[in-house]
Structure 1
Amino acid sequence: MGPKHPLPNFCHPTGTTAPFVPKAGAVVSTSEDHSLEEFGYRQELHRSLGRYASFAAGFSFISVLTTVFQFFAFGYAFGGPVFFWAWPAVLAGQLLVAACFAELAARYPISGAIYQWSSRLSNASFGWFTGWIMVIGQIVVVAAAALALQMVLPALWSGFQLVGADPAPTSRDGAANAAVLGVLLLVLTTLVNVVDNRVLSVVNRVGVTAEIIGAVLIVVLLLTHAKRSPGITFHTGTAAQSGLLGALLVGSFTAAYVMIGFDSAGEMSEETHNPRRTAPRTILTALGAAGLLGGLVVLGGLLAAPSLTDGHLAVDGLSYVLTSTLGDGVGRVLLADVVVAIAVATLAIQTAACRMLFSMARDRQLPFARTLARVNPRTGMPGAPAVVVGVLAAALLLLNFASPDAFLAIGTTCIVMLYLAYAMVTGPLLIRRLRGEFSTAGTDETGAPLFSLGRWGIPVNALALLYGLAMTVNLAWPRAAVYDPAGGHWYFQWFTVLFLAATLVAGAGYRMYRKHTAVRSAVPEAAVQEVAA
C-alpha cells in the first residue's frame, strides 16, 4: 500500500487541535474492524454489504427512472428533441469525475467520502466546507426526489391526488399534493434508515433489481412502438427557445440531475466488505449502467411519443408517453415500477446524507456532534442523522404549498451544490498529482493493485475538473426562463447564486462561532489546571 496521508487536525470542542480519536468502547462487529484504524477511527457501522449492495447504493441514488421521469418534460420544454445529445456529453464528463473518485475510494474507504477525500487532499477547513456544501445539497436532493411521486402516482390512479383536482406539478393543487405525498414517503424512508442496515440493504437491492428490469422493459416497449426515426434527435423543434447551443445547455439539466450520486458506493465504504476493491468498481459500473439505461429511456420516449408538438410532452413527460402509447394496462404496471424506483431513490439519497452527517459529526465538526455520531450497537445505524435529514427535507417540501417555482429553484440549486462539491475534490486531487504527492501504489484486500489511472491520471483529472466547473457555471447561470418563468421575481432568477452565497456565509459564521467558543472554553480549563498544579 502507498504512503498513508495523516488524518487532518480537527478542532475539538475544548479548543485543542489533535487527530480525532473515537470514544472507547465503540462496538466492533466484524473481522474487518481494524481496517479503519489507520484513519483514526473504530469500526462502529456494521459491515454487511456485498458487491451488488454497493452497486445498488450508487445506482439507486442516480435512479434513472426517478429522475428521467421527473425532468424529461423540463429538458424537452427548453431543448426540444435535440436535448437528447446533452445526455452522452454529461455522461462522458461524469465518467471522468467517477474515475477520479474510484481512485480515492480505493485509498480512503471512509463514510462521508466527499468530505473525507477533500479534507485529506487539501486541509481541514477546505474539507469542512466541501462537506457542508455537499450535505446541504444532499438534503435538498432528498426532498426533490420525494416530489417525483407527483409525476407518477396521480397518473397511476386519480385517488392519489389528495389535494385539489389538477395533478400538474406546476399547478397550485399539484404542488401541494406533491408535498403531501413527499412527506409520507419521507416518513417511510426515515424509518428504514433507523431500523437496521441489513433491512436497508435488502430494500435497496430489491428496489434496484425492480428498477433495472422496469427500465429495460420500458426501453424495449418504447423502441418497438417507435413512430419516428432517431434522426429526430437532431431537430430543436419549436420547443427550443434559444438556438441549438442554448437548447443543449439548458437541456443538459436533465442529464446533470440524473447522473449524480454515484459516489454513494464510497459513502457506504465502512459498511462494505473489501471496500478498497469493491467501491471503485461499483462507482463506475453504477454510473455506466445508469447512463446507458437512462439514455435509451430518453431516446425511446422521443421516438414513441404520440406527438412532439401537441404540448403534452413538455408538461406530462414520460408518464404521458407510457400511458398513451402502451395503453393504460401496461403503462400503469410500468408506472408502478417507477413508484418503487422513486421510493428506493429517496431512501438511498437520505442514507448518503446520513453518512455524511455522521462522518462530519464523528470528527466533531457539526452542532450536536455527540448525538449525530452515535451508532446503535444493535442495528449498526446512526439514527439521529436519519431523523435530521428527514425532518429538514420535509420542511423544504412545505415550500411547495407557497410556490412551485420556489422549490424548482431550490431543486436546481442542489445540483449546482453537488457539482461544486465534486470540483472541490477533483481540484485538490489535481494539485496533489501535479506536485507528485499522490501515490498510485498499493494493494487492496485481495492483494491486487489498487484501482489507478496510471499515466492517464493528470489528463483525466484535469478534464474532470474543467468539466465540473463548466457545468457548475452552466447550471447556476441566472436564466430568467428557467428560474423565473412567471417573471417579476428577480430573487428566483438569482436564487442559485444567493442560496450558495447564504450557505457559505452560514458555514463561515458557524466556523467563527466554534473558534470563538473554543478560545473561551480554554480559559477556565487553563485556570483549573493551574489550581491543580
Structure 2
Amino acid sequence: MENRGKIQSCGTQPQGSEHDTLKRDVTPFQSFAVAFGFVSIATGIFTAYGAMLSTSGPVGIWTWPIVVVGQLMVAFILGSLAARIPVTGYVYQWASRITNPVFGWIMGWISFTFLAVVLCAVDYTIASTVLPVLFGYEGTANNAWLITSLVIIVQAGMIAFSTKFTQKFNAVAVTIQLVGMIGLIILLFTVGYINNELDFANLFSTGKVSAEGYYSFGGLTSVGPWIMGTLLGAFTIVGFESAANLAEETREPARVVPKAMWQAVLSLGIIGMLFLIAVTALLGDPTTLETSGTPTADVIARVLGPVLGNFLLVLVVISIFSCGLVILLSGTRLVWAMSRDERFPGWQQLHKISPTLKTPVNATIFVGLIGEVVLAIFSQDTDALFVLFSAATLLPAIIYAVSVLMYALKRKELPPSHGFTLGAWEGPVLIFAIAWLAFELALFRDASFAKPWFYVAVMFALGAVYLTYLLATRGAKGMKMPELIAIDSILDADRGADFSATPAE
C-alpha cells in the first residue's frame, strides 16, 4: 500500500482487548442526531435569549446569521480533520497526531473542561428557564440546583445502561425537536398574525439599550452592545463536532461524520433564525421582558395559551434533556479515550468497558460526578446561567481556533480522506474560519466575562498539575500515543467491514 501521509493514529482495536473497545453501530442519522442534539437551538435560545435582550436588545438577533456562517466554515474544517483521523477523542486525538502528544493532552483537557461546564449550562436551562413557566412556580437558585443535579443523574444512568438505547432516545428526541420547532414556528407566526400580535418593528429595536455607540466594536475591556449579541449564536452553534467523538462507533466515519457536522449547523441555523424572528416579533413591549428569566417561554405561553403552550414546552424540555444527554455521552467518550491511552487521572478504572453493559460505566459515572461538582460551585451565584453559558462559549472558541490553525499548518501532511474533501474551496474556507474565530475570541475581553475566565484558569491549573505529574513520571517520550497504525488502514478496514455481523449493545 502506498504511503498516504505522515500522520498516525490509534487503531479501532487498541491493546487487543475486546473489553476496551466499542461497538461500531452508529448509523448516519444517529451521527447527525448527535451533532444536531448537541447544538440544540431550543437549548441555546432558551438559555441565552434573555441575556441577549439585556445586552443588545431585540435587534441583536441579526448577529445570528454571522455566527452561523462562521461556525459553518469551522464545521467544514473540523469535518476535514474528522475524515482523516476518525478516532474517538476528537480534538485530543487530532492534536496528539498532528502536533505532539503533550499538546494533544492539553487540548483533551480543555475539551473535558468545556464538556463539564456545558453539561451544567444546558441542564440548568431546564430548571431555570422552562420548568418555572411550565409548572407555574418561582424559580430559585436552590430548586434549580436540585432539579439540575437530578437531571444529570438520570442522563448518566441512561448512558451507563445502554449506548444503543441512548442513541435511539436521542434520535427520537432530535426528530421531536425538528418537527416540534418547525411546528412551533408555524404556530407562533399563524396565531400571532390572527391575533394581530406580530410587531416586526421589534426586529430593529434596541429596547432599553442605548443607541449611542450601539454598533461600536468597543474598548480594551468592553464590547459594543450589538456585537455582544453574537454570544447567543456562539453559545448555541457549538458541539457539532461531537459526532466525531463517536467515530469508532460510527459506520463509515470518514464519510458520515463530516456530513453530519455541516448539515447540523446549516439546518439549525435556518430553523433558529426563523424561531428568533417569531419570538422577537411577538415580544410585545420589548422592555417588559428584558428582566425576565424566562422570556422565550413567557412568549410561547402567552401567545399559544396554557394548554398548547405547555405541550410545546414539554417538547422543548425533551430537546434540552437530549442535548445534555449527548454532551454527557461525548464527555464520557473523551474521558474513556484519554484513559485508554493511560493519560487521564484514574485511567486504570476509567478505560474499562463493562463486560455486561458494553459501555464505559466508570467513565460515565466520573463525568456525571464532575458535572455535579461544577454545578455545586456555581449553584448559589445569582447570575449562574450567564456564567455557565459564557464559559461554555469561551472554551469551544479556543478549541476551534486551535483545531483550525493545526489543520491550516499541517493539512498537506495528512493522509487523504476517502469520504470528505473541500477541494479548491479549502483555502477560502480556512481564511473565513480563522477570521471568524479571531473575532469571536476578541469578545471575551469584556469585563463581564471575569468569572468564566476564572473557571477556565482554575481548570487549566488543575490540568497543569496532572500534566506535570505525567511528564515527571514518564517523560515526554512516555507520552507517545500507543498502538499507532496508519489512518488509511482504519479506513480500508471500515470499507471492507460487515457491520451487520455483530448485533449492537
TM class, shorter-length: 0.7 to 0.9
Kindly tell me: are residues 333 and 133 of structure 1, through their superposed partners in 2, closer, same or farther at Cα, counting changes over 3 Å?
same
**How far is the alpha carbon of 1:505 from its aligned partner?**
3.0
Q: Any idea what SS the aligned residue of 2:24 has?
A: coil
Cα offsets for 1:298-334 (capped at 9, x unmatched): 1110112233232357542110100111111111111
The one-letter code sitting in structure 1 at the alignment partner of 2:101 is A
Is residue 118–residue 126 contact of structure 1 (8 Å, CA) maintained in 2?
yes
Residue 248 of structure 1 pairs with residue 218 of structure 2: no
- The 2-side partners of 1:473 and 1:21 are apart by 41
| Aligned equivalent of 1:110 | 87
CA contact (8 A) 1:20 1:363 kept: no
Secondary structure of the residue aligned to 1:416 is helix
Higher relative contact order (CA 8 A, sep 6+): 2
User: How many angstroms does 1:507 deviate by?
Assistant: 2.2
List per-residue Cα deviations over 1:22-74 (Å, max 9, x = no partner): 334325xxxxxxxxxxxxxx8x1111211111111011111111221111111
1:437 paired residue number: 413
Structure 1 contact 354–385 (Cα < 8 Å) conserved: yes
> Contact between 2:7 and 2:414, CA under 8 Å: does it hold in 1?
no
SS at the partner of 1:402?
Answer: coil
Give the structure 2 partner of residue 200 of structure 1. Answer: 166
When residues 442 and 306 of structure 1 are mapped into structure 2, their CA distance, relative to the original with a 3 A threshold, is: closer
Distance between the aligned counterparts of 1:517 and 1:387, measured in 2? 27
Q: Distance in 1 between matches of 2:404 and 2:335?
A: 21
- TM-score, structure 2 length as denominator? 0.86
- Amino acid in the other structure paired with 2:420: F
Q: 1:471 aligns with which of 440, 454, 460?
A: 440
CA deviation after TM superposition for structure 1 residue 209, in Å: 0.9
Please show how residues 163-174 of structure 1 align to structure 2 within 5 Å.
166-167=138-139, 174=140
Partners of 1:240 and 1:77 lie apart in 2 by: 11
Contact (CA 8 Å) 2:51, 2:386: kept in 1 or not? Answer: no
CA distance in 1, matches of 2:110, 2:210: 32
Shift of 1:470: 2.1
Moved over 4 A (4+): none
Runs of 5+ unmatched residues, structure 2: 217-223, 479-505
Counterpart in 2 of 1:16?
none
The whole-number CA distance in structure 2 between the counterparts of 1:155 and 1:53 is 31
Alignment counterpart, residue 185 of structure 1, candidates 139, 146, 151? 151
Distance 1:300 1:240, change over 3 A: farther
Task: Name 1:527's counterpart in structure 2.
Answer: none
**CA spacing shift, 1:273–1:80, aligned 2, 3 Å:** same
Q: How far apart are the structure 2 equivalents of 1:498 and 1:396?
A: 13
1:28-107 paired onto structure 2 within 5 Å:
44-107=21-84
**Structure 1 segment 393-472 matched on structure 2, within 5 A:** 393-406=371-384, 408-433=386-411, 436-439=412-415, 441-443=416-418, 450-472=419-441
2:314 maps to what in 1?
336
Q: Do residues 504 (structure 1) and 460 (structure 2) align?
A: yes
Which letter does structure 1 place at the counterpart of 2:413?
E
Give me the whole-angstrom Cα distance separating, in 1, the residues matched to 2:459 and 2:302: 43
Equivalent residue, structure 1, for 2:117: 140
Question: What is residue 22 of structure 1 aligned with on the other side?
Answer: 14
C-alpha contact (below 8 Å) 1:57/1:264 kept by paired residues: yes
Amino acid paired to 1:456: W
Q: Which of 68, 89, 105 is residue 128 of structure 1 equivalent to?
A: 105
Question: 2:271 matched to which residue of 1?
Answer: 293
Instruction: Give the secondary structure class of the aligned counterpart of 1:109.
Output: coil
> Post-superposition shift, 1:513?
1.4
- Alignment match, 2:497: none
For residues 451 and 108 of structure 2, the distance between their equivalents in structure 1, rounded to whole angstroms, comes to: 21
1:234 to 204, 224, 234: 204
Q: Give yes or no for contact 2:283–2:289 (8 Å, CA) kept in 1.
A: no
SS in 1 for 2:355: coil
AA paired with 2:446?
A: P
Indicate the SS of the match to 2:383: helix
Distance 1:471 1:128 in 2: 24
Helix, strand or coil: the match of 2:307? Answer: helix
Partner of 1:318: 296
User: Are the aligned partners of 2:118 and 2:388 in contact in 1 as well (CA < 8 Å)?
Assistant: no
Instruction: State the percentage of identical aligned residues.
Output: 26
Cα distance in 2 for partners of 1:313, 1:334 equals 23
- Measured at CA, do residues 68 and 85 of structure 1 come closer, stay the same or move farther in structure 2, by a change above 3 Å? same
1:294 is displaced (CA, Å) by 1.2
1:258 aligns to what? 236
Distance 1:500 1:469 in 2: 18
Q: What secondary structure does 1:46 align onto?
A: coil
C-alpha RMSD of matched pairs (Å): 2.3
Note if contact 1:306-1:324 (Cα within 8 Å) is conserved in structure 2.
Answer: no
Amino acid at match of 1:470: F
Distance 1:80 1:377 in 2: 53
TM-score when normalising by structure 1: 0.82
One-letter amino acid of the structure 2 residue matched with residue 52 of structure 1: F
User: Aligned partners of 1:2 and 1:130: how far apart in 2?
Assistant: 28
Structure 1: stretches of 5+ with no match in the other structure: 10-18, 28-41, 168-173, 444-449, 484-492, 523-533
- The Cα of 1:250 is off from its aligned counterpart by 1.2
CA distance in 2, matches of 1:156, 1:442: 48
**In the alignment, is the contact (CA less than 8 A) between 2:6 and 2:413 conserved in 1?**
no
Residue 275 (structure 1) aligned with residue 276 (structure 2) = no
Verify the 8 A CA contact 1:179 1:397 in the aligned structure 2.
Answer: yes
State which structure, 1 or 2, has the greater radius of gyration over its C-alpha atoms: 1
Cα contact 2:199–2:284 (8 A) shared by 1: no
Does the alignment pair 1:379 with 2:371? no
Q: For residue 86 of structure 2, give the secondary structure of its aligned residue in structure 1.
A: coil
For 2:87 and 2:9, the matched residues in 1 are separated by: 14
Q: CA deviation at 1:105?
A: 1.5
- Further displaced range: 392-401 or 279-288: 392-401
Partners of 2:5 and 2:413 within 8 A in 1:
no
Residue 153 and residue 262 in structure 1: after superposition, are their counterparts in 2 closer, same or farther (change >3 A)?
same
Aligned 8 A contact 1:420 1:469 in 2 = no
Corresponding position: 1:209 with 2:187: no
Aligned-partner Cα distance in 2 for 1:516–1:96? 39
Cα 1:352/1:401, change in 2 over 3 Å: closer
Contact 1:76 1:314 in 2 (8 A): no
Please tell me whether the aligned partners of residues 70 and 433 of structure 2 are also in contact (alpha carbons under 8 angstroms). Answer: yes
Alpha-carbon distance in 1 for matches of 2:3, 2:305? 58
Counterpart selection for 1:219 from 185, 201, 205 = 185
Aligned to 2:240, what secondary structure does the other structure show? coil
Between the aligned partners of 1:370 and 1:272, the Cα distance in structure 2 is 26
